[in-house]
Each structure stands twice: as C-alpha cells, then as structure tokens.
Structure 1
Amino acid sequence: MEFLNVIFNNPWIWLILGVIVMGLELIVPGVYLFWVGAGLITTGVSVVAFADLPGIPLAAQIVIFMVAMFGWVLTGIYLQNRVRQAAPSALNAGLAQYAGRQVPIVQVFADSRQESQTSYLGRIKLEDTTYGVISRHPLQEGQFVVILAYQDGKFLVEPASN
C-alpha cells in the first residue's frame, strides 16, 4: 500500500490519466469520459496545490477524485440539457420547419372561394422545389411572402413586410 501512496503523491499520475481519459473520448462514443478526465485533472491540480503539505493520503485523493468527478459529470449534464433546450430540433418537423422563412411567389392562380372567405392561391419556390400556398391577401409574382404554417398540403403565407 505504501507503493501506491508514493506513486499517487506525484500529481503527474493524475494529470496524465486525465489527459488519457479525455483522449479516449475521441475514440469511444459518449460524453462522460470527458468529465471523468476533468475530475482526474482536478485531483492532480489539488495534489499540486497542497504539495507543500506532508502529502495527501491516497484515500483523501480518491475522495477528492470522486467528488470532482461527480461535480464535473453533473456540470456536463447541466450544460448538455441547456444546449438541448436552447436549440429546438427540426428533426421530423417536416415542412412545418420552414415557418417564418421569407420566400418569393413564382406563380399566382385565380381567386377561389373557400368557406365564404376569399383566398388567393399561388406557388412559392422553397430551396429547389415549388409548393402550393394559400393567402388571405392578394399575391403577385416575384413578391416575397412569409410562411406562417403548413396545413392541408399547402403553406399558409402573408406578404412580407419589407
């Protein structure tokens, strides 16, 4: 046991292990190895910080490592959740993900009556495809519109306020 105390009183062991474990993050999928490596490096830094003391016993170093690792893993979980909440996913959103985008009208059709309200039909160019649109406002070719929603196979649009 004395052999382990001699080895682990050297902060380089903790620092090198931390770098190796963080490097494994590049090879092994997952995110938690990075935070475990951060815990190892924190332990190495704490051994350096208390180097002028007679030496931190191995049991205390392991406790420091466990607390640091637990703290870093919780920090990682918090940061990942914060990033996920800040950036909503467009995965499986379909055409509804285009709401709010400004696009040009490429073709206008004659007025149509739909549920006793006048609707204006046309087509927009979105990326490399054209789609049918419906609007409560008159449409003109070349005019930019804002996509409000996608329902019943058509985009609901209104004139862009430029």
Structure 2
Amino acid sequence: MAGMFVTLGGWNWLIFGLLLMGLELLAPGVFMFWLGLAALLVGLLSFAIAPSWQLQLLMFAVFAAAAVPLWRRVARNPTAASPSNPFLNKRSDALVGRVFTLEKPIVDGLGTVRIDDTVWRIAGPDAPAGSRVRIVHADGASLTVAAA
C-alpha cells in the first residue's frame, strides 16, 4: 500500500478529481464537487512543484477542509439568493395592493376579475360589476379583495 502512495503524481490527482466530479453528476449534493476541486488543485500543484506524497496528501486534506467554508459562503450568498424580480413565479403576490375594476359582480362572496390576459378567482364582499376592488391577500391562484 505504501508503494501506491509513493507513486502519486499530478496525473493521479487529476484523474481522481475528475472521478469525484463525475460522481457528483451521478449523485448531486455539491459535496464531491469540492473534494474533486481539491484533488485537481493538488494535481496542478504537483506538476509545478513535485512535492512528496506526504505533502500531496496534506495539501489535499487542507484544500478539502478549506472547501467546506468556501462552499457555505457561496451557497448562502445573499446577492445570489435575491433575484432581480422577487415576484418571479409568484405572480399573485405581485398583485397585492393593486386596484382593479370588476367586469362581473361578486355574488355570495365569490367572483372573478380579469387582470391583463388572465381571469382570477376572487373572494370578498358582494359587489356589482364596475366596482373598484383592491387585492388584499393572495393564496396561490385565489385572491381576496376588499372595496377600494
């Protein structure tokens, strides 16, 4: 087994890194990627400075341990988590607070309102057609309205 470690070189680390990244493709979890990246770094450094096998293993351990906080920082980056359009895929939330005119009356607390090219179900106090209503709550495809 010691003979295997003595023969460690840059190509071994590069292949090991690519295998780890390939495993990440098969079982995604963003864990093997960082270990593969650490192995690739050791492989590239092995070509540049030709360290001993003990130093190569130590570099891999250090790079792998340093990758964990780096991964946490990248994964929790607040600028990446907040898209330029906060209502993307939440169209109903973007309607809260807006005022619309009823095309059809609200009868028994239920009705519909046309907003742009979509007809939405609404719940609220009975109101005749032509009344102005304000969206006060959105729950999926159902909106709750109040008189404006």
Is the CA contact (8 Å cut-off) linking 2:103 and 2:114 kept in structure 1?
no
Partner of 2:28: 29
CA distance in 2 between partners of 1:65 and 1:100 (Å): 48
Q: Find out whether 1:155 has 2:144 as its counterpart.
A: yes
Q: Find out whether 1:131 has 2:121 as its counterpart.
A: yes
Q: Find out whether 1:76 has 2:65 as its counterpart.
A: no
- What is the identity, as a one-letter code, of the residue corresponding to 2:93? A
The 5 Å alignment of 1:32-51 reads: 32-51=31-50
Alpha-carbon distance, 1:129 to partner: 5.8
After superposition, what is the alpha-carbon deviation per residue over 1:73-128, rounded to whole angstroms, capped at 9, x for unaligned? 2212221222697259xxxxxxx872114797563437xxxxxxxxxx96224787
CA distance in 2 between partners of 1:87 and 1:109 (Å): 38
Change (3 A) 1:38 1:150: same
Is the CA contact (8 Å cut-off) linking 1:107 and 1:122 kept in structure 2?
no
- What is the identity, as a one-letter code, of the residue corresponding to 1:63? L
Partner of 1:61: 56
Partner of 1:4: 5
CA distance in 2 between partners of 1:139 and 1:73 (Å): 60
After superposition, what is the alpha-carbon deviation per residue over 1:12-32, rounded to whole angstroms, capped at 9, x for unaligned? 100010001100111123210
Indicate the SS of the match to 2:29: coil
The TM-score with structure 1 as length reference comes to: 0.59
Change (3 A) 1:39 1:155: same
Amino-acid identity (%) = 24
Is the CA contact (8 Å cut-off) linking 2:135 and 2:143 kept in structure 1?
no
Unmatched 5+ residue regions in structure 1? Answer: 89-95, 111-120
Unmatched 5+ residue regions in structure 2? Answer: 84-89
Is the CA contact (8 Å cut-off) linking 2:102 and 2:129 kept in structure 1?
no
After superposition, what is the alpha-carbon deviation per residue over 1:31-76, rounded to whole angstroms, capped at 9, x for unaligned? 100111001001111112214xxxx121111111011111222212
Give the strand-richer structure, 1 or 2: 1
Change (3 A) 1:106 1:146: closer
Alpha-carbon distance, 1:132 to partner: 1.4
